[in-house]
Amino acid sequence: MKIIEKIKTNKSIDNQTEIQKICLDKLQSTPLPNLKSEQWRLSNKSKLSDFLDYSVNEKDPKFDTPFPKTSQSTIRLVIGENCQINLIKENFAIKQLSEDQLVKYIKEQISCFDQNENWSDLLNLSLNCAKNTLGLKISGSEIPPIEIFSHASSNTLNAKTLVICLEKDCDIDLLQVNLGKDNSSLSQSTFFFLEENSSLNHGVVSYGENKSNLLNSLNVIQQKNSEYNLGSLHYKFSYARFEIRIKQSEGNAKTNIKGMQISKKDEQISTYTKIDFNGPNGFLDQINKSLADDKSHAIFEGSIIVPKIAQKTNASQLSRNLLLSNLTQIDTKPQLEIIADDVKCKHGATISQLNEEELFYMRTRGITLTEASKLQLSSYFQEIISFIPVSKDRWDLLDILLNEN
């Protein structure tokens, strides 16, 4: 059944909200993304159709968070479990966004949507209902770290939406965890508004299971003097697509992105990023690493757009890829589009396997090939993992990865 039909005939999705109507309307004119376009041409078509194949009947399975909560101060929220939070403390406040505010924020985003580029968001918002949307407004200082879980249930296509507005001068650590289940599809769209002088350390850990799929999109608008740091890790998905769109709306903002994607078997994992500098003095430091093995396919496409208004932008983007098997395929395309002259922009890309001279050096010191490879991989992962906030204190992601690779 076509996705539009599924949505329309589904009773558990309350086709009432304004947002849903607008998005469904737009989705109807593009029921599928343009598979010939730059953003989608490398996407595995059969995997994308698998993604859409599951029923959108929203069951409500019980969700056991798989990771222990070790620190009492951490705030843990699970989207879809009617999570309510209203914390007003001396130093800070975490409040639920009202329906009106939510509509206002999302509508603002939709107004600059590109049908094709934001297709994942259109799908997400068309599918979604109030229950699976979490909207927060955060202000103040000394805010405890926040963890937000999104999960899919087996044989279902689930959509979860997160909207967060960080008020002026606010500073938080936030970890998003996206969990796939056997034979499932998860659509996760996230919208962040960073007001002046705010700072967000954001982590995204997406961890799939057998035959799970993920469309994960992240839209960030940064006002001036804000700082956005993202550390991300995606692995174990049959099909995962991570889209990052960042707009420094007035320039004068800082963005740091460190991403890691791991693909094995016949998995396809892709990362698309678009960084738009809409004012002067913007800063970007981005590195995307991939590790691809077996018959998997890893994709990175990054674009940096520096219009005339964005003088004195300083942007750097690096794509590093490890290709470990004869049957693996890696595509990478870092792009620069620049109109301003007084800017410093650079990008780079490498595809290779583990460095043989380094391996030999370690082996001449008695370290076995397996161990030497592990040491190399660990340093390869470490740079990214250590950038993911909140998680590092409690799950040893690095150990998990090393044991699996």
Partner 1 sequence: MVNENLVKDVVKEPYKYGFVTDIETEKIAKGLNEDIIKLISQKKEEPKYLLDFRLKAFKKWQKMKEPDWAGLGYKQIDYQDIIYYSAPKQKEKISSLDEVDPKLLETFDKLGIPLTEQKKLTNVAVDAVFDSVSIATTFREELAEHGVIFCSISEAVKNHSDLIEKYLGTVVPASDNYFAALNSAVFSDGSFVYIPKGVTCPMDLSSYFRINSGDSGQFERTLIIAEESSSVSYLEGCTAPMFDTNTLHAAVVELIALDDASIKYSTVQNWYAGDEEGIGGIFNFVTKRGKCLGKRSKISWSQVETGSAITWKYPSCLLLGEESVGEFYSVALTNNLQQADTGTKMIHIGPKTKSTIVSKGISAGNSINSYRGLVKMGTKAKGSRNYSQCDSMLIGDQASANTFPYIKSQQPNSEIEHEASTCRISEDQLFYLQSRGIEFEEAVSMMVSGFCRDVFNQLPMEFAAEADKLLALKLEGSVG
Partner 2 sequence: MQSKMKESDPILEVENLYASTDNLPILKGVSLTVYPGEIHAIMGRNGCGKSTLSKIIAGHPSYNITNGDIKFLGENINSLEPEERAQSGIFLGFQYPIEIPGVSNLEFLRVSTNARRKFLNKEELDTFDFEELVKEKLEIVKMDHAFLSRSVNQGFSGGEKKRNEILQMALLEPKIAILDETDSGLDIDALRIVASGIKKISNAQTGIILITHYQRLLDEIEPHYVHVMSDGQIIKTGESDLALELEKKGYEWTDNFIKEN
> Shortest distance, CB of residue 38 to partner 1, whole angstroms?
9
Burial (0-12, 13-18, 19+ Cβ within 10 Å), 170: buried
Q: How many CA atoms lie within 13 A of 72 on its CB side?
A: 0
Between residues 349 and 367, which has the closer beta carbon with respect to partner 2?
367
From the list partner 2, partner 1, none, pick the one residue 368 interacts with, judged by a Cβ distance below 5 to 8 Å according to partner type. Answer: partner 2
Complete DSSP assignment for 298-334: EEEEEEEEE-TT-TT-EEEEEEEEEE-STT-EEEEEE
Please state the closest distance from residue 330 (CB atom) to partner 1, in A. 5
Torsions phi, psi of 309, nearest 5?
Answer: -70, -20
- Assess 55 for contact with partner 1 (CB under 8 A): no
Neighbours of 32 (CB within 10 A): 17
350 binds partner 1 (CB under 8 A): yes
Supply 123's token pair: 């799908």
Closest CA to 272 of 338, 219, 211: 219
* Residue range at the interface with partner 1 (CB under 8 A); choices 139-147, 227-235, 318-326, 388-396: 318-326
Please give the single-letter amino acid code of residue 278. Answer: N
Residues in CB range of 261: below 8 A, 6 or more apart:
233, 234, 235, 240, 242, 269, 270, 271, 288, 289, 290, 291, 298, 300
Which of partner 1, partner 2, none has residue 361 at its interface (CB below 5 to 8 Å by kind)? partner 2
Give the strand pairing for 92-96 and 133-140: antiparallel
Position 108 contacts partner 2 (CB under 8 A): no
Tell me the closest approach of the beta carbon of residue 125 to partner 2, in angstroms.
40
Nearer Cβ to partner 1, position 153 or 313?
Answer: 313
Interface residue with partner 1 among 9, 49, 141, 353 (CB under 8 A) is 353
> Which of partner 1, partner 2, none interacts with 334 (beta carbon under 5 to 8 A by kind)?
partner 1
Is 295 one of the binding residues for partner 1 (CB under 8 A)? Answer: no
Binding residue for partner 1, selected from 4, 336, 375, 398, defined by CB under 8 A: 336
Contact status: 37 vs partner 1 (CB under 8 A): no
Indicate whether 360 belongs to the interface with partner 2 (CB under 8 A). Answer: yes
Binding-site size for partner 1 (CB under 8 A) equals: 34
Provide the minimum distance between the beta carbon of 358 and partner 2 in the complex, in angstroms, as a whole number: 5
Phi-psi category of 77—alpha, beta or left, where left has phi over 0 and alpha has psi -120 to 50? beta
Q: Extract the tokens encoding 345.
A: 């922009």
Show the binding pattern over residues 362-401: x = contacts partner 2 (CB under 8 A), - = does not.
xxxxxxxx-xx--xx-xxx-xx------------------
Structure-token pair, residue 274: 């678009």
- Give the C-alpha distances (Å, rounded to integers) separating 83 from 66, 96, 186, 244, 339: 18, 10, 19, 26, 45
Residues in the chain: 405
Please choose which of partner 2, partner 1, none residue 165 contacts, taking the beta carbon within 5 to 8 angstroms, the exact cut-off set by kind: none
Give yes or no for residue 193 binding partner 2 (CB under 8 A): no
- Binds partner 1 by CB under 8 A, chosen from 4, 340, 362, 367: 340
Is residue 369 within the footprint of partner 1 (CB under 8 A)?
Answer: no
CA torsion, ordered 399, 403, 404, 405, to nearest 10 deg: 100
Binders in 105-124 for partner 1, by CB under 8 A: none
Residue with Cβ nearer partner 1 (347 or 394): 347
Whichever of 155 and 378 has its CB closer to partner 2, that residue is 378
Which residue in this structure is represented by tokens 């599951």?
A: 54
Q: Least Å distance between CB 323 and partner 2? A: 19
- Chain positions contacting partner 2, by CB under 8 A: 355-358, 360-369, 371-372, 375-376, 378-380, 382-383
- Chain positions contacting partner 1, by CB under 8 A: 308, 311, 321, 323-353
